[in-house]
């Protein structure tokens, strides 16, 4: 969470004071989107060398304007690797190898080991020698998808600039984490990457950094990643994208799949950065959290209320309230006594429910606090720029030290603390917040002041902290860079780089300045926490939910979109926020349902519960001081929740199969319509309606007072989940949805595996399977079901069953290794006019279900352990 009080205080005190404290690059204002057209640029020197993986070039700086915002690096090398037929790697680096690279390790991005150039390339790489520039061309249609010609390359120690041409009205998706429209070049033409603890402002830098995008041109898609963790601005301006980066190298990857489908770009991207974590089944259940559950009785009461209102609840969460003086790994002895918390989790577990709590990276420096003394003893905390003195900031518990994930000893430290803590009350998962990292003061404000916390940073206090920070120097020994105030000022909404976080002159293991790894801090914590949880429960899928993330974090953790507000704007924008995460390979994601900051309303909460019930990660979360917003607070909200969650739990086998595809192929659990229908221009900027997988279209109502949505339908037949009404696309239809409903349509041509909804995932999974067969115009349909034990990392046996309905026959084929004990008992068909279903010679009558509009055959006892067919007549 953000420290709300200080923000409110600042705003109330005087808006102009806040403004005055900001540099020229005030949040959201594009300071300088110009290209440095007059820069010297580079030329190829010597001959190109062919290498095993592609091509090597040497570059020399041209004569002309240099040192724009740093020291020009004269000699560069360009290594072009044809890594796979669809992935091209272009690395432009300083020849001396001094610039910082994203580590090739779990704390950064583990690069695939490429020894030979791939054959059968989907792309061409072309370059010009003087000035040096390059193009990436998709061979199948000769489309130039990346083109740096016409603008000089700038490569300085603290400033990199590169521009590529794009069409004037390019369709770009990505460049996040960002609160804003899903299609990226409408409103915001700068995206700034500098991890920041802030309450989801529109079009400003926030918690995560993914300098990656997918572009759709004429129905075809390609993608690109700049693998660089430094602060940067990416300008998406008419006709071009300009990268302005304050360090590192230009490490570009291009994704050019054939056929050039958007989902294939996501698959290619996650081939490189890692696939999304495979969640345990229980993580698909409903979550309830709030900041403001002041004692364990309140928490127990919420669980009771859920039950008495007949509302599903899988996992109960608590925010920092449970801690003793906000210290990690402690429980308040009066409000959350360990013995009572332990009884609580025991009871939850007996009902197949779970408990997850928040943990912040910052460790209180209170000298009598063991997690601190152990970490101090092991020497695992971040340091100042003398490489010796511990860097201390300030977070909820007061002065704090910050674990340095880059120190190899930190894993042992964190594993010990996390497992001891989890064991103490038998926790099920860890929610990691404040890991940008957030600090409430500037610099090492806590040094030498004992445990006394100063008043909230007033201007005077801030000036003192600023002076103290400056006095330590603007860099680190042996490095001439100005790390506090680099000459190029990125559009950091917080102002100077070290505001509200660790100073950029603080240091990590290996003498790495925080400047170079700031955007990796939450990523490192995600990996280290996932590994720590696995040391507590070996073999079990760890549950980590992180706020800060980087390229590839999805393989360690899920993400919630941080501190949103209980407003209609945030309800709507949660859709693009979740879609972005899907594209970045963080499938397990969602926004705080009903809104975190501010008071929600009955109407907003009813709509949000309906939509949020379909977030890949579905959690209602509220902030301190607000009115309660659990779904049972209002009868209408309870009803909307029961309606929507009964659908979620019904289609859970479908969702779980989608998560498994995210984990293996990389495709999103949620998908923008344009990714499924790239040729349909009506969907280029659509970010209210979206797809759950490729079979379910969701059309939520996200405007106050509205009770309908003008929903666009792609080509084909779309069946209303509620009553089976078929709509024939392409078309637009006004769909009515009262407060307790959300319009859901099934794509004709799909087969969806079902369960009967209960109040927990495990009770739901104990019910028999069903299938919903939604026929297309040709009377055919396809679908898939993935089954495993639902919680182990390694699986001895899994089932992956493909269903195919064609010529009046449903055939199930595939892999049937998992010893599934529940049977397939029911098949519902939408479309077609059948009266009987024949299974192994036995006839079953189909009955029309007046409510769902489907023809239903039931009473089978079909084993899902071998292939079978069902004949319809």
Ligand X SMILES: *[C@@H]1O[C@H](CO)[C@@H](O)[C@H](O)[C@H]1NC(C)=O
Could you list the residues that contact ligand X (CB under 6 A)?
21-23, 32, 34, 141-142, 187-189, 237-238, 294-295, 297-298, 324-325, 366, 368-369, 451, 466, 470, 495-496, 598-599, 626-627, 636, 716, 738-741, 749, 776-778, 782, 804, 806
Q: Judged by CB, which is closer to ligand X: 89, or 642?
A: 642
- E-assigned strand segments in 387-437: 392-395, 398-401, 429-432
> Which residues on neighbouring strands pair with residue 359, listed in sequence order?
432
Closest approach of Cβ 524 to ligand X, in Å?
Answer: 27
Cα→Cα distances 283→315, 429, 585, Å: 8, 10, 17
- The answer to whether the CB of 21 falls within 8 A of the CB of 495 is yes
Closest approach of Cβ 773 to ligand X, in Å?
Answer: 13
Closest approach of Cβ 46 to ligand X, in Å?
Answer: 28
Residue with tokens 């009506």: 682
Closest approach of Cβ 24 to ligand X, in Å?
Answer: 10
Sign of CA dihedral 62, 63, 69, 70: positive
Contacts (Cβ under 8 Å, ≥6 apart) of 174? 184, 210, 212, 213, 214, 223, 580, 583, 584
- Is 377 assigned a catalytic role? no
Q: Judged by CB, which is closer to ligand X: 428, or 592?
A: 592
Q: Judged by CB, which is closer to ligand X: 89, or 500?
A: 500
Kind and range of the H or E element at 862? strand 855-862
3 state SS for 88-137 = EEEEEEECCCCCCCCCCCCCCCCCCCCCCCCCCCCEEEEEECCCCEEEEE
Catalytic residue among 271, 314, 428, 563: 563
Q: Judged by CB, which is closer to ligand X: 201, or 790?
A: 201
Instruction: Give the integer Cα–Cα distance in Å for 378 and 363.
Output: 14
Q: Whose CB is nearest to ligand X?
A: 451
Listed residue (87, 91, 93) closest to 251, CA to CA: 91
Closest approach of Cβ 395 to ligand X, in Å?
Answer: 13
Instruction: Give the integer Cα–Cα distance in Å for 351 and 526.
Output: 29
> What single-letter DSSP state applies at residue 671?
E
> What single-letter DSSP state applies at residue 584?
T
> What single-letter DSSP state applies at residue 628?
P
Q: Judged by CB, which is closer to ligand X: 49, or 778?
A: 778
| Token pair in block for residue 123 | 């792309």
| Token pair in block for residue 801 | 């069953």
Q: Judged by CB, which is closer to ligand X: 790, or 814?
A: 814
HSE-CB at 245 with a 13 A cutoff on CA atoms is 30
Q: Which region, left, alpha or beta, applies to residue 504 given φ > 0 means left and ψ of -120 to 50 means alpha?
A: alpha
- Is 319 assigned a catalytic role? no
- Is 86 assigned a catalytic role? no
Count the neighbouring beta carbons within 10 Å of the beta carbon of residue 840.
10
Q: Judged by CB, which is closer to ligand X: 30, or 114?
A: 30
Instruction: Give the integer Cα–Cα distance in Å for 337 and 315.
Output: 20
Closest approach of Cβ 230 to ligand X, in Å?
Answer: 19
Q: Judged by CB, which is closer to ligand X: 466, or 767?
A: 466
| Token pair in block for residue 279 | 């969640």
For residue 553, give the 3-state DSSP assignment: helix
Q: Judged by CB, which is closer to ligand X: 282, or 331?
A: 331
- The answer to whether the CB of 623 falls within 8 A of the CB of 4 is yes
HSE-CB at 663 with a 13 A cutoff on CA atoms is 17
Beta pairing, strands 250-255 & 287-288: unpaired
Instruction: Give the integer Cα–Cα distance in Å for 873 and 853.
Output: 18
Closest approach of Cβ 283 to ligand X, in Å?
Answer: 29
> What single-letter DSSP state applies at residue 588?
S
Q: Return the biggest CA–CA distance within the chain.
A: 86
Q: Judged by CB, which is closer to ligand X: 722, or 823?
A: 722
Catalytic residue among 251, 417, 436, 676: 436
Closest approach of Cβ 801 to ligand X, in Å?
Answer: 12
CA angle 345, 358, 347 (to 5 degrees): 5
Closest approach of Cβ 683 to ligand X, in Å?
Answer: 18
Closest approach of Cβ 12 to ligand X, in Å?
Answer: 12
Catalytic residue among 319, 321, 360, 433: 433
Instruction: Give the integer Cα–Cα distance in Å for 376 and 387.
Output: 14
Closest approach of Cβ 547 to ligand X, in Å?
Answer: 22
Closest approach of Cβ 294 to ligand X, in Å?
Answer: 4
Instruction: Give the integer Cα–Cα distance in Å for 746 and 490.
Output: 45
Q: Judged by CB, which is closer to ligand X: 176, or 552?
A: 176
- The answer to whether the CB of 682 falls within 8 A of the CB of 688 is no
Backbone angles phi, psi at 800, to 5 degrees: -135, 100
Closest approach of Cβ 369 to ligand X, in Å?
Answer: 6
Instruction: Give the integer Cα–Cα distance in Å for 488 and 491.
Output: 10
Determine the angle formed by the axes of helices 602-612 and 635-650, rounding to 10 degrees: 0
| Token pair in block for residue 655 | 């969702």
- The answer to whether the CB of 80 falls within 8 A of the CB of 59 is no
Q: Judged by CB, which is closer to ligand X: 428, or 694?
A: 694
Q: Judged by CB, which is closer to ligand X: 626, or 799?
A: 626
- The answer to whether the CB of 318 falls within 8 A of the CB of 294 is no
Residues annotated as catalytic (active site), given as ranges: 433, 436, 563
């Amino acid at each position: 969470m953000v420290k709300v009080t200080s923000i409110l205080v600042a705003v109330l005190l005087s808006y102009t004071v806040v403004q005055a404290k900001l540099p020229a690059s005030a949040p959201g204002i594009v300071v300088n989107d110009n290209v440095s057209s007059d820069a010297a640029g580079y030329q190829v020197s010597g001959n190109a060398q062919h290498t095993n993986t592609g091509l090597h070039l040497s570059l020399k700086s041209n004569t002309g304007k240099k040192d724009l915002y740093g020291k020009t690096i004269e000699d560069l090398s360009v290594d072009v690797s044809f890594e796979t037929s669809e992935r091209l790697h272009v690395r432009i680096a300083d020849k001396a190898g001094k610039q910082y690279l994203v580590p090739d390790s779990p704390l950064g991005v583990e690069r695939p080991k490429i020894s030979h150039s791939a054959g059968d390339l989907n792309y061409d790489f072309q370059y010009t020698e003087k000035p040096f520039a390059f193009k990436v061309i998709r061979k199948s249609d000769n489309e130039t998808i990346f083109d740096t010609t016409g603008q000089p390359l700038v490569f300085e120690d603290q400033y990199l600039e590169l521009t590529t041409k794009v069409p004037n009205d390019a369709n770009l998706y990505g460049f996040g984490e960002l609160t804003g429209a899903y299609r990226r070049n409408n409103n915001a033409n700068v995206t700034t990457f500098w991890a920041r603890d802030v309450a989801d402002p529109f079009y400003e830098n926030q918690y995560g950094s993914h300098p990656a995008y997918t572009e759709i041109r004429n129905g075809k898609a390609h993608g690109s990643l700049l693998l660089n963790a430094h602060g940067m601005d990416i300008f998406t301006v008419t006709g071009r994208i300009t990268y302005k980066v304050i360090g590192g190298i230009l490490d570009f990857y291009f994704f050019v799949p054939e056929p050039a489908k958007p989902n294939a770009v996501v698959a290619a991207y996650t081939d490189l950065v890692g696939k999304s974590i495979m969640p345990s089944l229980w993580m698909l259940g409903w979550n309830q959290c709030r900041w403001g559950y002041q004692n364990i009785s309140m928490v127990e009461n919420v669980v009771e209320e859920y039950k008495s209102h007949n509302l599903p609840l899988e996992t109960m969460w608590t925010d920092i309230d449970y801690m003793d003086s906000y210290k990690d790994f402690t429980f308040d002895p009066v409000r959350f006594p360990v013995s009572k918390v332990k009884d609580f989790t025991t009871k939850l577990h007996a009902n197949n429910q779970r408990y997850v709590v928040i943990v912040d990276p910052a460790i209180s420096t209170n000298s009598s606090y063991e997690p601190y003394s152990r970490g101090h003893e092991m020497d695992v905390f971040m340091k100042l720029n003398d490489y010796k003195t511990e860097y201390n900031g300030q977070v909820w518990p007061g002065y704090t030290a910050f674990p340095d994930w880059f120190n190899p000893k930190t894993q042992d430290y964190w594993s010990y603390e996390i497992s001891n803590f989890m064991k103490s009350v038998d926790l099920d998962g860890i929610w990691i917040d404040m890991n940008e990292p957030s600090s409430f003061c500037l610099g090492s404000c806590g040094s030498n002041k004992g445990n006394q916390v100063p008043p909230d940073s007033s201007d005077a206090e801030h000036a003192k902290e600023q002076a103290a920070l400056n006095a330590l120097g603007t860099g680190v020994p042996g490095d001439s860079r100005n790390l506090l105030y680099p000459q190029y000022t990125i559009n950091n909404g917080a102002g100077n780089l070290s505001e509200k976080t660790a100073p950029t002159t603080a240091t990590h293991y290996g003498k790495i300045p925080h400047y170079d790894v700031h955007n990796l801090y939450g990523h490192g914590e995600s990996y280290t926490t996932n590994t720590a949880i696995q040391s507590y429960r070996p073999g079990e899928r760890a549950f980590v939910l992180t706020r800060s993330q980087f390229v590839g974090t999805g393989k360690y953790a899920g993400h919630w979109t941080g501190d949103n507000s209980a407003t209609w704007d945030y309800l709507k924008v949660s859709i693009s926020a979740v879609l972005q995460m899907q594209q970045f390979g963080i499938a397990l994601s969602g926004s705080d349902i009903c809104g975190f900051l501010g008071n929600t309303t009955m109407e907003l909460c009813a709509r949000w519960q309906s939509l949020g019930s379909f977030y890949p990660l579905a959690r209602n979360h509220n902030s301190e001081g607000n009115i309660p917003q659990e779904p049972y607070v209002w009868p209408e909200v309870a009803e909307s929740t029961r309606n929507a969650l009964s659908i979620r739990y019904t289609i859970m086998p479908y969702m779980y199969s989608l998560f498994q595809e995210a984990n293996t192929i990389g495709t999103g659990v949620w998908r923008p319509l344009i990714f499924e229908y790239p040729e349909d221009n009506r969907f280029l900027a659509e970010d209210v309606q979206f797809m759950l997988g490729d079979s379910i279209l969701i059309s939520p109502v996200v405007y106050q007072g509205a009770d309908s949505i003008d929903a666009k339908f792609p080509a084909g037949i779309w069946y209303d989940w509620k009553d089976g009404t078929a709509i024939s696309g392409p078309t637009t239809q006004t769909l009515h949805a009262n407060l307790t409903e959300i319009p859901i349509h099934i794509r004709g041509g799909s087969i969806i595996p079902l369960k009967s909804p209960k109040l927990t995932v495990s009770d739901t999974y104990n019910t028999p399977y069903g299938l919903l067969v939604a026929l297309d115009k040709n009377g055919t349909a396809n679908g898939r079901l993935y089954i495993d034990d639902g919680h182990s990392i390694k699986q001895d046996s899994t089932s992956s069953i493909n269903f195919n309905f064609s010529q009046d026959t449903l055939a199930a084929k595939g892999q049937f290794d998992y010893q599934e004990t529940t049977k397939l008992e029911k098949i519902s068909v939408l479309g077609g006019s059948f009266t009987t279903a024949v299974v192994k010679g036995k006839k079953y009558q189909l009955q029309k279900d007046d409510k769902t509009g489907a023809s239903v055959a039931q009473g089978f006892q079909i084993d899902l352990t071998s292939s079978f067919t069902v004949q319809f007549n």
